[in-house]
Amino acid sequence: MHRFANPARFLRIAKPLTPALFWPGLVLTLVACIWGIFFTPTERLMGDTVKIIFVHVPAAWLGMGGWTGIAIASIVQLVWRHPLAGVSARAIAVPGATFAAICLITGSIWGRPTWGTWWVWDGRLTSMLVLFFLYLGYIALSNASSDKGDTSRVAAVFGIIGAINIPIINRSVIWWESQHQKASITLSGSSIDSAYLVPLFVAVAGFSLLFSALVLMRMRAALAEMRIEVRMRRMAED
């Protein structure tokens, strides 16, 4: 892991990897959306609103996956003092928050025709809203100071503590009575018909590749900004 601690070595890998993740991600996402909208059948109970699944579910998974990534990177940052771990955690925050917001908004839009309401304060929806606010808090905390030393350590601790919300979101539909349906995809199998399941996995793959490319772009921007700061300081000293 420490082989990649050198930012120069990381950049040698990240530069070709960014387009290699981005373009297949974009193509898969577009294919999944077109497939989902135009070539999937109408569902018996939910009608055509089932098509919202192709943006709602990948956004939800990546919103939660993003925070899991922040928590892992924060542990690596605090325990092994890996210089890129804090950078990667901060790079995940904005895409993670955006995907959590997409999940909440598309879920609300889906709720209106299927549940008859835009919002209910049940366990799943509320814990997902809490995740979105945790993202906002993390972004504010990591941007609080230009001196990234102590601030990023505080953000790392916040990232680890906030991870407690991830299993709560996952188990919320089991622990509490919920408007939201129970998990349709688990490790033991899926209750979703293959007509929806295959394009859903294509969408998840596409969104995940795009998410990874976005994180790499933001890491590259952060590393370049650090180089600019060091260079400016040197120029000021000369």
Partner 1 sequence: MPHAPFIIASFAVAGVGMTWLIVSSYLSMRRAEGFAAKLKDRP
Which of residues 157 and 217 has its CB atom nearest to partner 1 in the complex? 217
Could you tell me the two tokens for 104?
A: 């909440």
Which of residues 156 and 214 has its CB atom nearest to partner 1 in the complex? 214
Out of 5, 75, 120, 217, the only residue in the binding site for partner 1 (CB under 8 A) is 217
Q: How many residues does the chain have?
A: 238
- Interatomic CA distance for residues 60 and 39, integer angstroms: 23
Q: How distant, in Å, are the alpha carbons of 46, 79, 205 from that of 27?
A: 28, 38, 10
CB of 34 to partner 1, least distance (A): 10
Residues 140-199 that bind partner 1 (CB under 8 A): none
Residues 23-82 that bind partner 1 (CB under 8 A): 29, 33, 37, 47-49, 51-52, 55-56, 59
Q: Is the dihedral of CA 206, 209, 214, 215 positive or negative?
A: positive
Out of 9, 12, 182, 231, the only residue in the binding site for partner 1 (CB under 8 A) is 231
Q: Are 5 and 87 in contact (CB under 8 A)?
A: no
HEC string for 117-137 = CCCCCCHHHHHHHHHHHHHHH
Could you tell me the two tokens for 92?
A: 């995940």
In the stretch 86-125, what mask flags binding to partner 1 with x, by CB under 8 A?
--------xx--xx-xx--xx--xx-xx------------
By the rule CB under 8 A, 214 interacts with partner 1 = yes
To which H or E segment does residue 176 belong? none
Which of residues 164 and 221 has its CB atom nearest to partner 1 in the complex? 221
Which of residues 80 and 115 has its CB atom nearest to partner 1 in the complex? 115
**Which stretch in 73-81, 152-160, 166-174, 213-221 sits in contact with partner 1 by CB under 8 A?**
213-221
CB of 78 to partner 1, least distance (A): 26
Burial class for 74, CB neighbours closer than 10 Å (0-12, 13-18, 19+): buried
- Interatomic CA distance for residues 189 and 184, integer angstroms: 8
Which of residues 108 and 184 has its CB atom nearest to partner 1 in the complex? 108
What proportions of the chain, in percent to the nearest 5, are helix, strand and coil?
80, 5, 20
Interface with partner 1 (CB under 8 A)? 29, 33, 37, 47-49, 51-52, 55-56, 59, 94-95, 98-99, 101-102, 105-106, 109-110, 112-113, 210, 214, 217-218, 220-222, 224-225, 227-228, 231-232, 235
